[in-house]
Amino acid sequence: MKKPVITAIAILITTTALSIERKFLEGYTIERSRTNTEKAEGGLSLLNGKLAFTRNDTVYLAEMGDSLDIQSITPMPDLSSLGIEGQFTQYGKTIIFSKGGELYQAEQVNNLWGNPQKLKIDGLGGGRTEIKGTSFAARRWTYREPAVKGMYNPALSKNGKRLYYSATFEGGAGGKDIWYSDWNTDRWSAPVNMGERINTSADEDFPFLAGDSAFYFTSSTSDTLTGSNIFKTSLTDRTRPEMIPTAFNTNSNDENYVVVNGCPFLISNRDGNDNIYRPEKQKPVIVETVPADTVPAEAIVKTDTAMKVIRKDYNTCIFYFDFDKTSLIDSYDKEFDYIYEFITSNPDSKFLINGHTDTRGTEKYNKKLSISRAKIVRDRLVKMGIDKSRLVHQGFGELQPEIRDAKTEEEHQKNRRVEIIKLD
């Protein structure tokens, strides 16, 4: 079995591929859609430029509002009747989807989707065509493993000529891999494994193409935080995939990434249920540094480098950390009492806990360090009695410094911080 080869390296794969996430790294947080329910949501797909998703075996179509959230949700009985599993993909008046572990297509007639037909893929019915990318010679058998493991989550290229999907076939790297087939006159070609640049001995799933070359997928390789995370690469320059920023990825399962009108959406169970997440613009946060004798003592958080004012109107708190450390210094004990009071006095609010590092160390290491710092603060508040569902923690690594191009140790320390922000 092949070793995992995906690494989250700090390389600019293409401006197009990176610009989608970069737009939402500063001034935004990744939040649950207000349209989520207690039911699990999933199957994020694009249909006629709009976002489609499933909930409780029903497919819905949604408009996107000015707030970057979805609205005007409409059930689609014709799509729901097809038995779609996971995401589907569209080209013109044809959609391709998975059902029972097999790939099907359906056509739109009189504005309704119907007449599903099993996809014709060379090599899946005992044909003699050689299967490229595997160790199989041309034989009269099917090459895939038992159908229960199936083929899922198809995604078409922009021109509709190449079909990507996840599947467990012999000749793969192990677990689910991303495969593709090309359109040949009246059927799809035999599956081709995307190779070790994409696939590992873990599971890869949910392929998605944004624009001409940005290729996204989910992987549970050991290079993820924990669970499954979202990776991206370019289909044109063949650079190694990298994990997209930790604003989108957490220590939970993050998957099924799609882009609608330039806005990313994904499915995550970071709050304990599969829900839709998307960017939400932060309201301006005001943090003042003032002399200690000008404000009440209970309104001040002391640090080794500065005194940060915390007022209910400002809705924020900042903790600082020593170099390469995740432990909190003892002098923060009283400040936690204040934060606890503030959170409990706002019972209808959630609080965002953002971890940051200085620029020393690798980007991958700093991402993990920033998440650990945010989790330390979150766990401390949970231990004090705060409901963990009200606390959302995430790490930005070195991507959002307080002081850019920091040189002195004092400047570096201001970047090694955790911010607690009240969300209205």
Per-residue pLDDT tens digits of the chain, which is 424 residues long: 333 333 232 233 333 444 678 788 777 889 889 888 889 999 999 999 999 999 989 999 999 877 789 888 999 999 999 999 999 999 999 999 999 999 999 999 999 999 999 999 998 864 434 444 443 333 333 344 433 368 999 999 999 999 999 998 877 888 899 999 999 989 999 999 999 999 999 999 999 999 878 999 999 987 767 789 999 999 988 788 999 987 899 888 999 999 998 899 999 998 889 999 999 887 654 444 334 344 344 333 333 333 333 333 445 677 777 777 887 766 666 677 778 877 888 888 888 888 999 888 888 888 999 999 999 889 888 888 898 889 999 999 999 888 888 888 888 888 888 888 887 6
CATH number at residue 272: 2.110.10
The residue out of 281, 305, 322 marking a domain boundary is 281
Domain identity same for 298 and 266: no
pLDDT of residue 28: 86
Nearest to 173 by CA among 215, 224, 220: 220
Residues 202, 207, 210, 213, Cα dihedral to 10°: 70
Q: Tokens 């909930």 correspond to what residue?
A: 55
Domain carrying residue 145: 15-281
pLDDT of residue 383: 87
Domain identity same for 232 and 299: no
pLDDT of residue 292: 39
Domain identity same for 182 and 273: yes
Q: Is residue 235 part of a domain?
A: yes
The residue out of 233, 262, 281 marking a domain boundary is 281
Q: Is residue 7 part of a domain?
A: no
Nearest to 333 by CA among 369, 370, 395, 384: 384
Domain identity same for 203 and 324: no
Q: Could you give the CA distance from residue 335 to residue 355 in angstroms, rounded to a whole number?
A: 17
Domain identity same for 167 and 316: no
Q: Could you give the CA distance from residue 309 to residue 15 in angstroms, rounded to a whole number?
A: 39
pLDDT of residue 224: 67
CATH number at residue 419: 3.30.1330.60
Domain identity same for 414 and 313: yes
Instruction: Outline where 239-362 has alpha helix (H).
Output: 333-344
Residues 374, 380, 385, 386, Cα dihedral to 10°: -10
Nearest to 352 by CA among 401, 395, 399, 402: 395
CB-count burial class (<10 Å; 0-12, 13-18, 19+) for 200? buried
Q: How would DSSP label each residue in 80-135? A: HTTT-EEEEEEETTEEEEEETTEEEEEEEETTEEEEEEE--BTTSSS-----TTSS
Torsional class of 85: left (φ above 0), alpha (ψ -120 to 50), beta (otherwise): beta
pLDDT of residue 9: 28
Q: Is residue 287 part of a domain?
A: no
Q: Could you give the CA distance from residue 258 to residue 360 in angstroms, rounded to a whole number?
A: 32
The β-bridge partners of 275 are 268
Domain identity same for 99 and 128: yes
Q: Is residue 53 part of a domain?
A: yes
Task: Compute the half-sphere exposure of residue 232: CA atoms within 13 Å on the CB side of its CA.
Answer: 25
- Domain count across the chain: 2
pLDDT of residue 337: 77
∠ CA(141), CA(145), CA(136), 5° rounding? 50
Domain identity same for 260 and 301: no
pLDDT of residue 7: 29
The residue out of 255, 281, 307 marking a domain boundary is 281
Domain identity same for 303 and 201: no
Nearest to 331 by CA among 366, 307, 357: 307
Domain identity same for 79 and 188: yes
pLDDT of residue 25: 79
Residues 86, 368, 402, 384, Cα dihedral to 10°: 90
pLDDT of residue 417: 86
